[in-house]
């Protein structure tokens, strides 16, 4: 059995700058809670998660190295597009596919079991709650807000997820060309009966700000009355870097991946790019992975005249393997001459490309040392850097 977690939306109604599925409830992200439940279900063989493109490119660490096969795909503009994208990766051998909205982080294992069993028997099923209040049908809005009729409450159900389907039923529903707000409605429109399973009042969908305190209360109850400690802030790891090279005739002057016209260049085993070296050390420091000399020793001939942007790119990949990404980088270059202000934007672009971030996340500033010490006398060039890393 395959589970599809629909998490391709951005939750703009919640007013959050980041997708709502990445918000924390009780110390855990909403998406993490939803995915963990399906990974824990004994009948679920694999999980497919549909995410916004930018999140899918660098998925959260809890979606990697999972106890069961988990695939991340890019979602679509609509929920049905996200589910359709995920369905393309469902194995042919799968008999039942269960679809769940990531914004419902509190579905129980028992509810999943009941929904799967009903779908296996009837072809399609969804969790739903019976209406508790008297239901009124209103007239057209343009005629004013008046009751047209009162609907029999016993026949009104409020749809939830999970929704489960035999694989062939879901395939037909998704390719039907019909439009609807959920997969059960698609199945209805092409004539498939959809069975109702008793939903759960705690299986709320987090949609607006008013849902957050309710979700926090449910999380505290589910977690034994005490929420786990919050995760480190997403901008929680800083590192510093420093590099200095003597300036000598006959060497190119490479700064931040850009060759600067100069009669002298930096002396070093590689191309002696102080900006890239300082940033490399700052990233390694933030990730607690040592320093540049440990990874690219000057005793190793393979790094002779190496491009420092290439070394920086290697470290960026190494940092990424630790589940970390770069939030921003700030560099100060200390050099008497030549002036480099005209090349700063090109340097920012080159450093950003090596790291795999946007140039807007890289700051490079140029200073002199006011004639003090070797740098001030024009005998050397130096750079200080700070890098800020965060968990994916």
Greatest alpha-carbon pair distance for the chain in Å reads 91
pLDDT category at 12 given cuts 50, 70, 90 is low
Q: Which tokens sit at 41?
A: 């279900």
pLDDT tens across 149-182, in order? 999 988 999 999 999 999 999 999 998 877 788 8
Quickly list DSSP for 280-329. Answer: HHHHHHHTT---HHHHS-TT-GGGTT--HHHHHHHHHHHHHHTTEEEEEE
* Half-sphere exposure for 50 (CA within 13 Å, toward CB): 28
* Averaged pLDDT for residues 282-302: 92
pLDDT tens across 322-353, in order? 888 899 999 999 999 999 999 999 999 999 99
Q: What percent of the chain has pLDDT over 90?
A: 71
Q: Which tokens sit at 155?
A: 């026949």
Contact assessment for residue 303 and residue 357, using Cβ atoms and an 8 Å cutoff: no
Q: What percent of the chain has pLDDT over 70?
A: 95
* Averaged pLDDT for residues 13-34: 83
User: What local confidence, expressed as pLDDT, does residue 80 receive?
Assistant: 84
What CATH number belongs to 2-222? 3.90.550.10
Q: Give CA separation, 307 vs 260, 386, 389, in Å.
A: 15, 21, 23
pLDDT category at 11 given cuts 50, 70, 90 is low
Contact assessment for residue 349 and residue 358, using Cβ atoms and an 8 Å cutoff: no
Q: Which tokens sit at 69?
A: 């096969």
User: What local confidence, expressed as pLDDT, does residue 383 receive?
Assistant: 97
* Other beta carbons less than 10 A from residue 332's beta carbon: 17
pLDDT tens across 46-63, in order? 999 999 998 999 899 899
pLDDT category at 233 given cuts 50, 70, 90 is very low
What CATH number belongs to 237-391? 3.30.1330.50
Average pLDDT of the chain to the nearest whole number:
90
pLDDT category at 227 given cuts 50, 70, 90 is very low
Contacts of 152 (CB under 8 A, 6+ apart): none
pLDDT value at 232 more than 50:
no
Higher pLDDT: 32 or 323? It is 32
Give the start-to-end residue ranges of the domains of the chain: 2-222, 237-391
pLDDT category at 252 given cuts 50, 70, 90 is very high
User: What local confidence, expressed as pLDDT, does residue 14 receive?
Assistant: 66
d(CA 150, CA 136): 5
Q: Which tokens sit at 78?
A: 């609509």
């Amino acid at each position: 059995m395959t589970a599809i977690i629909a998490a391709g939306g951005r939750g703009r109604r919640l007013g959050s700058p980041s997708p709502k599925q990445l918000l924390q409830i009780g110390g855990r992200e909403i998406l993490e809670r939803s995915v963990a439940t399906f990974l824990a279900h004994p009948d679920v063989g694999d999980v497919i998660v549909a995410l916004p493109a930018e999140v899918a490119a660098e998925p959260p660490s809890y979606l990697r190295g999972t106890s069961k096969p988990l695939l991340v795909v890019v979602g679509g503009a609509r929920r049905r597009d996200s589910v359709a994208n995920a369905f393309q990766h469902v194995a042919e051998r799968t008999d039942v596919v269960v679809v769940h909205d990531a914004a419902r982080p509190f579905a129980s294992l028992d509810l999943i079991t009941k929904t799967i069993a009903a779908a296996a028997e009837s072809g399609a099923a969804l969790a739903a709650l019976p209406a508790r209040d008297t239901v009124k049908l209103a007239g057209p809005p343009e005629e004013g807000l008046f009751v047209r009729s009162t609907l029999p409450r016993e026949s009104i159900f409020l749809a939830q997820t999970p929704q489960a389907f035999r694989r062939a039923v879901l395939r037909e529903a998704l390719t039907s060309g019909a439009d609807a707000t959920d997969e059960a409605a698609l199945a209805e429109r092409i004539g498939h009966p959809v069975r109702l399973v008793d939903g759960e009042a705690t299986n709320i969908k987090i949609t607006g700000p008013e849902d957050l305190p309710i979700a926090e209360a449910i999380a505290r109850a589910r977690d034994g009355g005490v929420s786990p400690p919050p995760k480190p802030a997403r901008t929680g790891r800083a590192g510093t870097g420093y590099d200095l090279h003597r300036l000598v005739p006959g060497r190119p002057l490479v700064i931040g991946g850009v060759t600067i016209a100069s009669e002298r260049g930096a002396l070093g085993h590689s191309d002696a790019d102080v900006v890239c070296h300082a940033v490399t050390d700052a990233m390694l420091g933030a990730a607690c992975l040592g320093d540049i000399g440990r990874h690219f020793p000057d005793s190793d001939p393979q790094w002779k005249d190496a491009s420092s942007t290439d070394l920086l790119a290697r470290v960026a990949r190494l940092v990424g393997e630790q589940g970390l990404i770069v939030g921003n980088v700030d560099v100060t270059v200390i050099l008497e001459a030549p002036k480099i202000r005209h090349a700063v934007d090109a340097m920012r672009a080159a450093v950003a490309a090596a790291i795999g971030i946007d140039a807007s996340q890289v700051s490079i500033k140029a200073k002199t040392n006011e004639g003090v010490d070797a740098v001030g006398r024009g005998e050397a060039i130096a750079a200080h850097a700070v890098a800020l890393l965060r968990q994916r």
